[in-house]
Amino acid sequence: MTSERKIQKLLIANRGEIALRIIRTCREMGIRSVAVYSEADRDSLPVRWADEAYCIGPPPSAQSYLKVDAILDAARRSGAEAIHPGYGFLAENGAFADACEAAGLIFVGPTGHVIRTMGDKIDARRLMTQANVPVMPGTEGEISTDEELERAAEQIGFPMMIKASGGGGGKGIRIVNDPKEMRKAFNMARSEAEKAFGNPAVYVERYLKNPRHIEFQVMADNYGHAIHLGERECSLQRRHQKIIEETPSPLIDDELRQRMGDVAVQACEAIGYRNAGTIEFLADTEAFERGEKKFYFLEMNTRLQVEHPITEKVLGLDLVRLQLEIAAGQELPFAQEDLRQSGHAIEARIYAEDPNSGFLPATGVVQSLDLPGGSGVRMDSALYEGMEVSVYYDPMLAKLVVRGSTRDAAIERLKRCLGELHISGVKTNVPFLLAILETESFRCGKYHTGYVEQNLKTILKDAGSEKRELIVLAAAALAHAERKHRSRQLQAEGAPGLSTWKAAFRPGRS
């Protein structure tokens, strides 16, 4: 059916850290990389580090990174044989995958048909039920009227979830606790779904209280072989956005890993999946406490995930390399039994946001940057000094990934690295991440998807350190003195100067 096709040049239809991450693998594989960029990203690292770069439009995503014609045109001009979509943007757009194939390009991912099927949550539920994959109790199809909503509520009970059929990544979900809120939430969910996904269809599902979000990485070649690459524990979330992910999951033992992994592979095979994907499950923590290890299919992400590096860290693999080999028509190079997780990996997502002002996205220019390093550390970011963090794109600045021989070692390493990371010019969630790592619940691995939001106040309080060390107070005084001095100088001369201040405070050195 499919035969081997050499990929000599790859276009990356994305930006930021993931574009850079893919370019790095291309370089290692001897594949020429082609970046596409919006006018706002001219100076970005993917543009600078790729072999070729093409401008595809103005800053707003709708006029650049989401513009299929412009991207295909860049592919044609560059002579690339394949397109990697990364995550986000067009990665789960079936029409884009089809358009690539129609233009004679290899789309690094599944077929457009599979993307559409799994992207439609209602269709996906139906298919998974047929494949004997456990799904959450809920409505069989779309609900579009108040009457249907009321009937669904009667069947499912409260709390329930209204979910956009075209949603994903936590977008287009409303949780309803109270029948009185039901209609308002329903209307808002429909309007949001229409705007965000171009499809107002929503359905209702039972809302599991305090579940854990555990996902399995799957990989399938073009010849019907599918395997799983273990799990990722992604329960630490805020407003359905993942914050910290780890593998192995503290909840899972070998027996359950095998059982869930088998289900994930079964799901893959049922839909004729190919390339990298992720099957997300919800684990019923209340049932687990009773000794019943119940889990349900949540959704499938038909692309590379943001958090894929933790899987790479414990398996010693390069998932992008695997993706490209499979896309070029090669067979999976190993079997399920060849894979064994080694050690423990954690990822912390560094967001440009202000946890102390309701997590508002922060903007600014990165003035200076100290990145963590040392053993077992991987920093996936496209940050550079002078980079403008704008409102146009996702606020995720970087992924800090560490591996340790044990979970405790990995936690200590991550804490060490968060202390080393200094980004000035843009507020970040680093103190918040550290505060989460220091909670008792994280320490002992007992947390769930509601944990962060339910404990927000305590975590935020701890993020503002309790340690009122004298030297920190002195540092504050010094910083204040320098800032004051600088603003006085700016007023006096119209330009910053440091010599006088240095003379005053570092007399021995100036």
Partner 1 sequence: MKYYVTFNEDEIEVEIEVEIREEAGRAVGVIDGQTYPLDCSVIEPGSKYSVLIGAESLNVTVNPGTSELDMIVGGHLYRTRVLDERERGALQLGGERKIGGGVVKSVMPGIVRKVFIQEGTQVATGEPLLILEAMKMENEICAEGDGIVAKVHVQEGKTVNSNDPLVTIQ
Handedness of CA 348, 275, 24, 92 (dihedral sign): negative
Buried b (16+ CB within 10 A) or exposed e, 381-401: bbbeeebebeebbbbbbbbbb
Nearer to partner 1, 427 or 448 (CB): 427
Distance of alpha carbon 325 from alpha carbon 471, whole angstroms: 55
Q: Would you tell me which residues interact with partner 1 (CB under 8 A)?
A: 171, 188, 191-192, 195-196, 239, 356-358, 360-361, 364, 367-368, 370, 391, 415, 418-427, 430-431, 433-434, 461, 463-465, 467-468, 470-484, 486, 496, 498, 501-502, 504-509
Query: β-pairing, 82-84 with 9-12?
Result: parallel
In whole angstroms, what is the distance from residue 134 CA to residue 296 CA?
A: 5
The one catalytic residue among 15, 21, 212, 303: 303
Q: Are strands 106-107 and 353-354 parallel, antiparallel or unpaired?
A: unpaired
Residues 6 or more apart whose CB falls under 8 angstroms from that of 126 comprise: 140
Q: For every residue of 217-272, which 3-state class applies, written as one string?
A: EEEECCCCCEEEEEEEEEEEEECCEEEEEEECCCCCCHHHHHHHHHHHHHHHHHCC
340 is catalytic: no
Look-up of token digits 């993020």: 463
Nearer to partner 1, 398 or 418 (CB): 418
Give the residue from 89, 138, 130 showing the smallest Cα distance to 109: 89
Widest CA span of the chain, in angstroms? 80
Q: How far is the CB of 470 from partner 1 (least distance, A)?
A: 5
Least Cα distance to 345 among 421, 416, 401 occurs for: 401
Closest contact distance (angstroms) between CB of 191 and partner 1 is 7
Indicate the residue among 296 and 501 with the shorter CB distance to partner 1: 501
Per the CB < 8 A criterion, the answer to whether 93 and 115 are in contact is yes
Tally of CA atoms within 13 A in the half-sphere of 137 that contains its CB: 14
Cβ of residue 164: shortest distance to partner 1, in angstroms? 11
Q: How far is the CB of 351 from partner 1 (least distance, A)?
A: 12
State in angstroms the smallest separation of the CB of 299 from partner 1.
18
Residue 102 vs 478, nearer CB to partner 1:
478
Q: Nearer to partner 1 by C-beta: 254 or 469?
A: 469
Q: Write down the least CB distance from residue 476 to partner 1, Å.
A: 4
**CB 369 to partner 1: min, Å:** 10
* Residues paired with 355 in a beta bridge: none
**Residue number with CB closer to partner 1 (167 or 230):** 167
Q: How far is the CB of 206 from partner 1 (least distance, A)?
A: 24
Place of tokens 């899987």: 311
Q: Of 95 and 188, which has the nearer Cβ to partner 1?
A: 188
Count other Cβ atoms within 10 Å, centred on residue 154.
Answer: 9
Q: How many residues are recorded in the chain?
A: 510
- Cβ closer to partner 1: 164 or 315? 164
Task: Give Cβ neighbours of residue 338 (< 8 Å, ≥ 6 apart).
Answer: none
**Which active-site residues does the annotation give?**
303
